[in-house]
Amino acid sequence: MRVDELTVRAATSADRELLAAFSCSSGEPWEDLIEEQVRGPLIGRYLSTPPYFDGRLLLGLDRAGTLLVIGAHHIEPTLHPDVGYTEVVAVALEARGTLVELPGGERVSLGHFMLLTIFRQMRRLGRHRRTFVRVDRRNARSLSLLHRVGLAEQQADPDNAELVRRWGELP
């Protein structure tokens, strides 16, 4: 699909039903976790976030209003400038494999597209140049995507042995 066929906007309380029906898991435990969060508490957390966390929940929809991809990021406010943490990127199960064609001819996956959209928003918001995600260490699909996007520096997660952190630097 062409990029102009996609709309990315901030989630509102009217999107609760849309998210409650969102499906992104093919049965892997790390995908089940994210699907459960997206269908459940994620939107509540992001829509009523204290301002110092500046939570952003983005939805990517096609022209028919079908929700294809979501992204959620907030800041870790104890550092200056605030560090952007991408908490969730999830692609709808039925939209897996969809490629987004950018004006320069480059084609990226929906997950890749959402990460780049988040990173552009982080730049607009003046976030720390260094940014990171947490990901299940078994999640090869996401680890590969993160490598392509530019989050290649991997560290063990000190709080959860099942996770790794991937770091990168914004332009």
Partner 1 sequence: MADDGHWSTDAASCSVGYNEGMPVALPFVTRREIAREYRPDGTVSDESAIRSLRDKQSLSAGISVVARKGSGKLGGRLHVYSALNREAARAARRHDYVLAVRIAKAARALESTPEARRVTSFLVEAIALTTTADLARVLSEPELLPDITSLQRRYAEALRKLDIAGPALFTGYVAQITETEAWLDLTGLSARVAIPRVVVDLAGIGAVGAAIAASWEILAGGRTLMTVEPALDAVPALNADGAPLVDVYGTPWGRVLSETDAEALLITGAPTIAIPAGIPDVE
Binding region for partner 1 (CB under 8 A): 3, 6, 8-10, 33-34, 37, 41-42, 44-45, 48-53, 58, 74, 76-79, 83, 85, 87-88, 102-104, 106, 113, 116-117, 119-121, 123-124, 128-132, 134, 149-153, 155, 158-160, 163, 165, 167-171
- Taking the least distance from each CB to partner 1, the nearer of 30 and 96 is 30
Tokens, residue 83: 């560090």
- Taking the least distance from each CB to partner 1, the nearer of 18 and 47 is 47
| CA distance between the termini of the chain | 26
Q: CB 90 → partner 1: shortest distance, Å?
A: 10
Q: CB 64 → partner 1: shortest distance, Å?
A: 18
- Taking the least distance from each CB to partner 1, the nearer of 66 and 155 is 155
Closest CA to 92 of 108, 116, 118, 71: 71
